[in-house]
Structure 1
Amino acid sequence: MSKGTKKKRKKAGKGGRRKDSRFSSLNISSIDQHKRAGSKLVPPLAQIPNMTTSSWSDHHMPEMLWAVLLAGVLERRHYLDVLRKVAVQCRSWFLREDDDSVEEQSPDPEVGLNFSIIVDQTKLAEVPDEEFHDFIKIPLAHPLGYAALRPILLIEDLPGIARWKRYFDAEPTEHDWNTLARAIANVLDHQSEASTDIRWFKVIVAIISGRIRFPASFAERLEEFRLFPDKGDMRSVRPSIRSMEMSLRRNDPAEWIERFWAQVLRDTVCIDPSEGEGYTFIETGIDPNTLSAVRDGVIEKFRRNIRADRVDARLDSAFGLVLYALGILEEIGMHRIHTRIVGAVALRSLAEVSITLHYLAKTDSLEMWQSYRVYGAGQAKLAFLKTQQTHGDLPNFIDESTLYSIANEDVWQEFLNIDVGHWASSNLRKLAMDSGTKDIYDNYYDWSSSYIHGNWAAVRDTNFVTCHNPLHRLHRIPRVAHRSLRSVEPDAVKLVNEMIDVLERLFPSDEIIPPVALGEPEAGTTAPNTGRQNESSC
């Protein structure tokens, strides 16, 4: 093998996880754990019957806005102390005289619980003034209590907003928008520390008011909940809290929540992290001298292997695939597209070319070499015949003379079949498995294909950026200039050098074709952005 390609390809075992990934510790289901349903692979959680989803950040976090603001301003030990005192004070709101009381369940099991034992904004709007006073005096006793809670006054459709305004007797300021944004930023992630703390508060209120019951075997976990976060292994306690909180939610989020998100979107501007960016063109790391030497070496080896046959499908196809790959590699590097969208498209093409050559070399049968060649000629014939049925001007990139020439090169096209299937009666994935190059398919084919097809993932990756205003819920806004991608050059050079190795095995000789060398890319240049800048607000 060429230098730089001798390392064994690392593979995770079936169902295993790559240990050096930054995501290796996350609870992510593997491909093998997905269930095939037609053309879809369904993850384990989605296989659970009657499963319904519930968004913490979209529908339930706003109901806890008062706690979100305290967590965003106060130190953790201080806001947890406030939450404990509120839980004890408000426990009496939910107590019942009969010991057997439980939260009522909907008769429809698919609907589940409509839990309302929550000290949330909706509940605070429903309680009498005396009970509201008992609640509000606890956070306001903290020196930063007023400053922390004042942004609530910004929310026009907040339940009970008139009473909140009476208690504060002050107008919110522009700085309160910043306070609100910072607080929401801490809880958009449902697993964040602040989110988990607030979700614990919801759970502990239900527990200490006796509205949910547990078996004796749950005693240790209840003690961990009671003394949270100072008791137990948080790697176990925190997930338990989040799991339980999901069952203690209002079944239908209040209507005011959608109006809340609409208001904060309307009243605050987008923050565009890409503003001012231009197009950066990074110089190639491919050594042009070695690239030229490789092409010369391939051509020279081709000439030494020419035979008297008028059509040599094995020779032409093997060398042609390598030369085609070298052409792609040259355009990737010399035209500085290795960090651009077309660079990913080029890598996708290289992956298919590489798998094709490996398969043809593995089978190395005259029938397969001829099938590959005849199929291509048939595609040229098909395209040519379509040009004959086209009215008006042809697309500029089509040269019908070239199509006609290729279609008739080996045999008169009237005797040339058009195969509308696959030249090997297979597909690229099967070819990769049969040729031992499934790793190439897995590593390079799927994601790069997104750029060819313009799938949403590729569109999102290149031309949108996440708004940095937390109040906008991480929505997407267009980039000023589409982003630079990670360079495809190391992967492209690796694939091409491996193809040269295949060619050497097919046509061995004492003259070895040198590999393409890749060095460190030179500093790039940034083209000024002459397009329209993003507006500062949505």
Structure 2
Amino acid sequence: MRHSTLSEHKFNKGEFITQLNSLPLTEFEDVKTWSYGRMPEYLWIGLILKYYGRENGMIKCNFIMNELHRLAPKLSTPRISEMLKLDSNIQRQFYSFVINMGCKDVLAPLTVFITVSKYPAFAEMFYCKDQNIEDRCKTLLDVMEDILDQHSNEAIDIRFIVLYFCVLSGKMKIQKVQADILNLYPISNHDAEIMRMARPLVSSSEMMILAMENVNSQFINDFWRILSKMTDCDLIAMRFPEENRNIVLYMEYLHEIFLYLSDLYITTDPLNEKMKVLLGIATYSYKRLKEIYDHQMFNSISGRSCVRVLIEDYIMMKYLLKNESSHQDIWREYQMYGMGSYKLVLKRLLESESLFDNHFDQQYIEGLVNEYRDEEFLNMDTKYFDKQNIRLKAADVEEKELYGLYYDYDSSFEHGLWGAIRESSFLKCMNPAHKYHCVPDVENQNRLKSVLPDCIMIMNKTLIILNKLYAIPDQLFNGVINFEVEPITK
């Protein structure tokens, strides 16, 4: 199935809506979905196909379905929960036929959850003492792994057999042209040309059976509850290559550049508000990068926070420069806006009744707030600086792509949104009986992809701005701009 492009989504009131969600469709409840509700019912068919292979399995299933229809003509679908409700004599006749077809050992794993206390006929006839619980569970999990995806070859084969039985029972009518296509299904390979029509026909037709099926929620819920408890998690971690590239020379050049710029500021124009702001923002970016470098956190959540800050700082520098002429003193305004935000936090702290020791130092922050202007003359603006958020600022300075590709992604980590939580803080369980759930990564086994190339790319963009304004010495500037990030060695 081809996934839709961003342009194919409908944008409405700040939300990108998929084409399918734009249609008046009702989502299936869990017990009617394939992976949760229908797959457990037809797992027995999957066991036969898995054991005998597709060709022989299809032949055996054909005989079995015909016999089931003969013994229970009112049965509309081959759901195992419906078969277990049949008269015990009919059940035993049918199970004897299945066993004679050579399927006793094949279906024995089902006795893990189809137990003698609830379903004596099935459990007694299919129990094999040679199969221990671990072996039976493993067999079930192997098949489930193949068929949980309703579009897998194995799942489509099962759905074809279900459809065949439903047509056989007379509960579903199909047109001759459809019958001609379906007749070719069991004797055609999945990569055959006819399957381009047959597979979608099987999928859509099998879905229509839901309208006439009796859903046994209790059986389905018991299946998942029992099998999930009897099997262990099979956890895997996502471990991207550890960042081990040598960037000592890059960081040394970077340090020399900021020493040069700092000395330039002190010796040539220490009262220049524009230079102070630009160097302040750039130095903050440098310090964030140096923290990540010093503690080797390029593969970490904090590394993504660093990329986000570097991008926002870079966009803000470009925005201030572009809009300098339209403000009386944008550099002073920018500083007062930031200190106003500090003042707001300070006032909230002073009026709080739950003062305690924290990382917000009252005396120091109060000194900063009053450093250049008495706070009584300092307003607190709760809107975005210059009344534009970072997205609008990025568009204004023609960095919309940088914002869209990086900033939104890294902001998910900064704000603890679920995408970032799922990527960084969960291990994947590969046990299909656990429905491939996730487990908290308490031991920090996941390793995220390195942000080193991104950090260097954005830092270099920042230095290009500073070089145009303050002419960084060529040796230093070229040392960072031309620095090549080698591939990670494993």
* TM-score range for the pair, normalised by the shorter chain length: 0.7 to 0.9
Contact residue 467 and residue 476 of structure 1 kept, 8 A: yes
Aligned to 2:54: 76
Deviations 1:122-141 (A, max 9, x none): 23224456765675466545
Deviates more, 1:440-449 or 1:206-215: 206-215
What residue is the counterpart of 1:325 in the other structure?
A: 285
The alpha carbon displacement at 1:398 in A equals 1.9
Measure, in 2, the Cα distance between the counterparts of 1:288 and 1:352.
25
2:41 corresponds in structure 1 to 63
Instruction: Determine whether 1:211 maps to 2:182.
Output: no
Cα–Cα, structure 1 residues 522 and 420, in superposed 2: closer, same or farther, change >3 Å?
same
Contact persistence 1:345–1:451 (CA under 8 A): yes
Q: If each structure's helix is expressed as a fraction of its own residues, which one has the higher value? A: 2
1:422 to partner: Cα distance: 0.5
**Residue among 423, 427, 445 paired with 1:465:** 427
Any idea what SS the aligned residue of 1:465 has?
Answer: strand
Give the CA deviation at 1:346: 1.8
Which residue type is aligned with residue 56 of structure 2? H
Structure 2 residue aligned with 1:34: 9
Matches of 2:270 and 2:164, distance apart in 1: 84
> Would you say 1:417 and 2:375 are equivalent positions?
no
Q: Report which stretch shifted further, 85-94 or 192-201.
A: 85-94
**What SS class does the counterpart of residue 485 from structure 1 fall into?**
coil
Alignment of 1:45 with 2:10, yes or no, is: no
1:66/1:89 Cα in 2 relative to 1: closer, same or farther (>3 Å)?
same
Contact 1:270 1:467 in 2 (8 A): yes
> Which runs of 5 or more structure 2 residues have no equivalent in the other structure?
none
Give the equivalent residue in structure 2 for 1:123: 82
Q: Give the Å deviation of 1:308.
A: 8.2
Amino acid at match of 2:234: I
1:345 and 2:305 are equivalent in the alignment: yes
Following the alignment from structure 2 to structure 1, what is the Cα–Cα distance between the partners of residues 457 and 97?
A: 65
The SS at the match of 1:381 is: helix
From the superposition, tell whether residues 117 and 36 of structure 1 become closer, same or farther in structure 2 (CA, over 3 Å): farther
**TM-score, normalised on structure 1?**
0.78
Q: Is 1:295–1:323's contact at 8 Å kept on the other side of the alignment? A: no
Counterpart of 1:493, as a letter, is I
Q: What is residue 120 of structure 2 aligned with on the other side?
A: 162
Normalised to the residue count of structure 2, the TM-score between the two structures is 0.85
Per the alignment, residue 219 of structure 2 pairs with 256
**Matches of 1:216 and 1:462 in 2, distance apart?**
53
- 5 Å-filtered alignment, 1:288-307, equals 288-301=248-261, 303-304=263-264
- Structural RMSD (CA): 3.4
Give the match for residue 454 of structure 2: 491
Please name the residue that 1:356 is paired with: 316
1:421: how far off? Answer: 0.2
Q: What is the aligned partner in structure 2 of residue 195 from structure 1?
A: 155
Q: Distance in 2 between matches of 1:385 and 1:427?
A: 24
Q: Deviation per CA, 1:470-499: give whole Å up to 9, x if none.
A: 222212223351221111111111111111
Worse overlay, 338-347 or 217-226 = 217-226
Alignment of 1:89-488 (within 5 A): 89-90=67-68, 117-127=76-86, 132=91, 135-136=94-95, 139-141=98-100, 143=102, 145-156=103-114, 161-168=119-126, 170-171=128-129, 173-174=132-133, 175-215=135-175, 218=178, 221-225=181-185, 227-229=187-189, 232-249=193-210, 250=213, 252-273=215-236, 282=242, 284-285=244-245, 287-301=247-261, 303-304=263-264, 312-365=272-325, 367=327, 368-391=330-353, 393-482=355-444, 483-488=446-451
Give the 3 Å change call, closer, same or farther, for CA 329–142 of structure 1 in structure 2. farther
Do the aligned partners of 2:236 and 2:430 also contact (CA within 8 Å) in 1?
Answer: yes
1:344-367 Cα offsets, whole Å, 9 max, x none, are 222222222222223233334362
Q: Name the CA shift for 1:421/1:147 in 2 (closer, same or farther; >3 Å).
A: same
- Which residue identity does 2:477 align to in structure 1? I
What is the Cα deviation at residue 197 of structure 1? Answer: 0.9
Please report how far the alpha carbon of residue 385 of structure 1 lies from its aligned counterpart in structure 2 after TM superposition.
2.5
Tell me the alpha carbon deviations over residues 278-328 of structure 1, each in whole angstroms, 9 at most, x when there is no partner: x99946535233323223324424544679877533212222222111111
In structure 1, how many angstroms separate the alpha carbons of the residues matched to 2:385 and 2:222? 57
Q: For residue 441 of structure 1, report the CA deviation from its aligned partner.
A: 1.2
- Structure 1 286/426 Cα, relative in aligned 2: closer, same or farther at 3 Å? farther
Name the aligned partner's letter for residue 503 of structure 1. L
- Decide whether the 8 Å contact of 2:108 with 2:127 is kept in 1: no
Q: Secondary structure at the match of 1:396?
A: coil
Q: What is the CA deviation profile of residues 240-271 of structure 1, one whole-angstrom value per residue up to 9, with x for unaligned ones?
A: 32232222223644321101111112222323
Please report how far the alpha carbon of residue 27 of structure 1 lies from its aligned counterpart in structure 2 after TM superposition.
Answer: 2.1
Q: How far apart are the structure 2 equivalents of 1:158 and 1:242? A: 34
Q: 2:457 is aligned with what amino acid?
A: K
Q: Whole-Å Cα distance in 2 between the matches of residues 138 and 202 of structure 1?
A: 19
Select the structure with the greater relative contact order (CA < 8 A; seq sep ≥ 6): 1
Q: Deviations over 1:3-30 (max 9, x none)?
A: xxxxxxxxxxxxxxxxxxxxxxx42223
State the one-letter code of the partner of 1:471.
A
More moved, 318-327 vs 122-131: 122-131
- Kept in 2, the 8 Å contact 1:284–1:522? The answer is yes
1:433–1:160 CA distance, 2 compared to 1 (3 A): same
Residues 246 and 401 (structure 1), Cα distance of their counterparts in 2 relative to 1, 3 Å cut: same
Letter in 1 for 2:195: M
- Structure 1 residues 142 and 513, CA gap change in structure 2 (3 angstroms): same
Sort the Cα spacing of 1:488 and 1:235 in 2 relative to 1 into closer, same or farther, 3 A. farther
User: Residue 370 and residue 248 in structure 1: after superposition, are their counterparts in 2 closer, same or farther (change >3 A)?
Assistant: farther
